[in-house]
């Protein structure tokens, strides 16, 4: 049982740290783009949404570390929304605080990426016409760990 609590706290600390760094990186990138970026309203909307999502991730981690009620549900939910990536007719969605491993399909080809990219975030429409469907593997792994921990703690 003690080992399970250690794993749960480690996941919580990971979520807390990646959530905080996600906010910092988003703000830094927005400042670096400056006011000359193509559409300031879209940039500000993405920044606000990104801060909300990475803030939710940090809060889920904090809640998991300190064993708040509903911490597991929040952690599981935030991991679920980090897994999928898609771009369909210019609509792009990607949100992950651990975008290190990616597996997907683009224009009929299988893709696997491994990078040192700490965060990946975009919710926008763009002029791209690429079709991309994929998943981030690290959030999927964390989700599986959380579900197994919850099941074992209940048993």
Residue with tokens 């809060």: 59
| Alpha carbon of residue 139 to chain centroid | 7
Q: Report which of 75, 71, 69, 70 is spatially closest to residue 18, judged by C-alpha positions.
A: 75
Torsion over CA: 9, 80, 98, 145 (sign):
positive
Determine the 3-state secondary structure of 133 from DSSP: strand
Average pLDDT over residues 112-130: 77
Neighbours of 24 (CB within 10 A): 12
Maximum separation of any 2 CA atoms in the chain, in Å: 56
Determine the 3-state secondary structure of 135 from DSSP: strand
Report for 34-43, 53-62, 111-120: range of highest mean pLDDT:
53-62
| Sheet architecture: strand order including 109-114 | 109-114, 101-106, 132-136, 84-88, 91-96, 120-125
Average pLDDT over residues 22-27: 92
Residue 132 confidence (pLDDT) = 87
Residue 155 confidence (pLDDT) = 42
* Parent domain of 41: 2-154
- Average the pLDDT over each of 24-33, 88-97, 120-129 and give the range with the smallest value: 120-129
Residue with tokens 């197994």: 148
Number of domains composing the chain: 1
**Cα–Cα distance between 29 and 15 in angstroms, integer?**
21
């Amino acid at each position: 049982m003690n080992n399970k609590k250690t794993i749960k706290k480690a996941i919580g600390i990971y979520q807390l740290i990646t959530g905080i760094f996600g906010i910092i990186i988003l703000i830094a990138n927005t400042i670096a783009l400056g006011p000359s970026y193509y559409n300031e309203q879209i940039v500000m909307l993405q920044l606000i949404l990104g801060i909300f999502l990475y803030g939710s991730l940090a809060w889920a981690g904090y809640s998991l570390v300190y064993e708040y009620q509903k911490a597991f549900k929040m952690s599981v939910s935030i991991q679920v929304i980090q897994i999928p990536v898609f771009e369909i007719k210019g609509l792009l969605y990607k949100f992950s605080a651990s975008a290190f491993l990616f597996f997907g399909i683009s224009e009929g080809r299988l893709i696997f990426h491994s990078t040192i990219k700490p965060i990946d975030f975009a919710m926008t429409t763009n002029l791209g016409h690429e079709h991309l469907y994929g998943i981030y593997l690290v959030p999927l792994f964390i989700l599986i760990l959380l579900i197994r921990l919850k099941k074992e703690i209940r048993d």
